[in-house]
Structure 1
Amino acid sequence: MHCPFCKHSDTQVLDTRVSEEGDLIKRRRRCEKCDKRFTTYERAELALPAIVKKNGSRVEYNRSKIVDSMGIALRKRPVSAEAVEEAIRNIEERLLAMGEKEIASDRIGELVMRELKRLDKVAYIRFASVYKSFTDIESFESALKELK
């Protein structure tokens, strides 16, 4: 690891700690040349599949899009940030478990709907109304019946 201050290549690890979740390693380091200290973090990099949009274009997986859309659906609902984080982790674990290099965007929408249905029924209906593009009251009623 190069020192961020002087760019020297020899640094010494002073302390290593694993996060409570066990998915992150924090290391305190000291530069052998300038004696300054800094912290590095290590996390496993997982290859999530590329997303194939409805128009056929392909984009990289973007976690923030799921966070944002779930946040809109859950706005002013009594769901903790920890529960939302767990739901997003569940979605990502399912994506990884599929073992695919590409996945259709509608499959991700279905995974989000499944998690929202588990978290909060109102948020599920909010998301479904946009995702499924309800055009009439019958479509909306059908989604409500599905919840019962």
Structure 2
Amino acid sequence: MKCPFCNHPDTQVMETRVAEDGSFTRRRRQCSACTKRFTTYERPDVNFPMVVKKDGRRTEYNRNKLRDSLALALRKRPVPAPAIDAAIEHVEEQLLSAASREVPSSRIGEMVMQELHQLDKVAYIRFASVYRSFEDVNEFKDLVDAVRVQ
């Protein structure tokens, strides 16, 4: 691993920790040239299915897009970061367990809505209002009423 500070190719692992859920490994490293320390994270390299958009375009799955969508819906809501990370992990587990080469973006949107419904009802309604592209106020009202009943 190259040092991010001086680009020296030789670094030493000082400490290794596995995440509680075992999804990644955190390593503290020290450069043998400049002696600065830095952290690296190792995740398994898995092949997610291609995402098929409404217009038929195919794009690679992007974890950051998923995180940004959740963050936007959850903005200024009292949901802790570990809960958001768990929701992302759950969506990704579902994508991988489907074992298909392609997944419609609408399916990912439904998965996100399920996670938001469990995390925060307001964020769920925010996301649904954009995702479902309501045509009139009554459709939006029906969604809010459905959430109230639960």
Structure 1 Cα separation of the partners of residues 13 and 62 of structure 2: 35
> Given residue 91 of structure 2, which amino acid in structure 1 is its aligned partner?
I
Map 1:1-148 onto structure 2 (within 5 A).
4-5=7-8, 15=14, 17-21=16-20, 22=22, 23-24=24-25, 26=27, 28=29, 36=33, 41-147=41-147, 148=149
Aligned pair in 2 of structure 1 residues 29, 90: CA closer, same or farther (>3 Å)? same
Structure 2 Cα separation of the partners of residues 110 and 14 of structure 1: 41
Deviation at 1:26, TM superposition (A): 2.4
CA contact (8 A) 2:19 2:26 kept: no
Aligned pair in 2 of structure 1 residues 43, 136: CA closer, same or farther (>3 Å)? same
Bigger radius of gyration among the two: 1
Deviation at 1:68, TM superposition (A): 1.1
Aligned pair in 2 of structure 1 residues 72, 13: CA closer, same or farther (>3 Å)? closer
Identity %: 46
Q: Quote the RMSD (CA, aligned, Å).
A: 2.3
Question: The residue matched to 1:127 in structure 2 has which SS?
Answer: helix
Deviation at 1:49, TM superposition (A): 0.9
Question: The residue matched to 1:129 in structure 2 has which SS?
Answer: helix
Equivalent pairs counted in the alignment come to 140
Structure 2 Cα separation of the partners of residues 65 and 53 of structure 1: 14
**Please, which runs of 5 or more residues in structure 2 have no aligned partner?**
none
Deviation at 1:137, TM superposition (A): 1.5
Listed one character per residue, the Cα deviations across residues 23-58 of structure 1 (whole Å, up to 9, x for unaligned) are 21527477xxxx537876532111111100000010
Listed one character per residue, the Cα deviations across residues 115-147 of structure 1 (whole Å, up to 9, x for unaligned) are 000000111011000000012111112212322
Question: The residue matched to 1:89 in structure 2 has which SS?
Answer: helix
Structure 2 Cα separation of the partners of residues 137 and 28 of structure 1: 55
